[in-house]
Amino acid sequence: MPDTLPQSSNPTGAIVEITEAAAAKARDVLKDTGHGGIRIAVVGGGCAGLQYDLKPEAAAAEGDMVLEFHGVPFFVNPMVVPYIKGTVIDFSSALMDGGFKFINPNATSSCGCGTSFGI
């Protein structure tokens, strides 16, 4: 069965929605690194001006929101919420164009890499 991305925006209205496939990959990363959760961040850069950043971290920083999806903790600084509100994060294991995928209803532009966007 081929990997498919969700076609609709975040159906739950949560800040972000993490699919089971993305949570499973995050769980694998955490098991390999020994960290406590995954940080969801937005940084300046990339072809379209802003770039998504996912990275394992030992613990949430002071003031972080801790969101749990499918048993995996995700850390979010409240300052990035306006950029990611409603985003669905999925994971594709396809040989071509595989990796984490961001379906962001706030993005007005994006580039071919799929990790850079503009608001």
Domain at 58, CATH number: 2.60.300.12
Residue 5 forms part of a structural domain: no
20-71 residue pLDDT tens: 999 999 999 999 999 999 999 998 877 778 888 999 999 999 999 999 999 9
State the pLDDT at residue 1.
Answer: 40
Residue 10 forms part of a structural domain: no
The whole-angstrom separation of Cα 73 and Cα 63 is: 15
Residue 9 forms part of a structural domain: no
Residue 2 forms part of a structural domain: no
Query: Is 70 exceeded by the pLDDT of residue 119?
Result: yes
Residue 46 forms part of a structural domain: yes
Residue 7 forms part of a structural domain: no
Query: Is 60 exceeded by the pLDDT of residue 87?
Result: yes
Which residue segment(s) compose the domain that 23 sits in? 16-118
Q: How many domains are there within the chain?
A: 1
Residue 1 forms part of a structural domain: no
> How far is residue 79 CA from its own chain's centroid?
15
